[in-house]
Structure formats: C-alpha cells, structure tokens
Amino acid sequence: MDATKVIEEKFRALGRLDEATVRLWAAVEARALGHEGVSTVASAVGLSRTTIYAGLRELAMTPSEGPPVAARMGRVRAKGVGARS
C-alpha cells in the first residue's frame, strides 16, 4: 500500500480533531516520511502545505522561543483569530 493511502486511513481512523491537533499530527507524519513528506501528507488528507509547514515550525520551537507544544494546546487559534461572534 502506498504512503498516501496509509496516511489517509490513519487520518480517517483518528476521528474528530481540532485544528491545532490536525496541524501537529500532519507535521509529525510529514517529518517521519522525510523528503516529499509534506506533499504526500497534503495530498492524502487535503491540507494545505502551508498548514503542514506551520505545524513543523511549531514542533521545532524550543522552549526559549515560546511555550512547549503541549502548553500551547490550550488555545486552538491565536487570540483574535477566527470568526467574529
């Protein structure tokens, strides 16, 4: 089975995820695939490559650049971002 199908099946098996979790999961999958990982994950699950690169940046952040990934998971979106209520 090719990598795209495997990733697509994993994504469907995960169920409902919020935006931040999807972004981080996609980044982990892309990083594990290495070269062409971002493109493979993007085509498998329908995410933008920009979104996956944002997840990779979040994973690469060191504590001196901001709080660790687990601590940032309290908010899905940055303050002030998103639809107005």
Q: Yes or no: say if 8 and 44 are a contact pair by the CB < 8 Å rule.
A: yes
For the residues of 6-75, what is the DSSP string, one character each? HHHHHHHHH----HHHHHHHHHHHHHHH-TTHHHHHHHHHT--HHHHHHHHHHHH--GGGSS-HHHHTT-
Residue 82 falls inside a structural domain: no
What residues have CB less than 8 Å from 21, skipping those under 6 apart? 73
Q: How many domains does the chain have?
A: 1
Q: What pLDDT score was predicted for residue 72? A: 54
Instruction: Flag whether 9 is in a domain.
Output: yes
User: Looking at the domain assignment, is residue 85 inside a domain?
Assistant: no
Q: Please tell me the pTM assigned to this model.
A: 0.73
Range of the domain at 20: 3-72
Residue 22 lies in a domain: yes
37, part of any domain: yes
Q: Is residue 31 part of a domain?
A: yes
The answer to the question of residue 84 being in a domain is no
13-69 pLDDT, tens digit per residue, is: 988 888 888 999 999 999 999 999 999 999 999 999 999 999 999 888 766 666 655
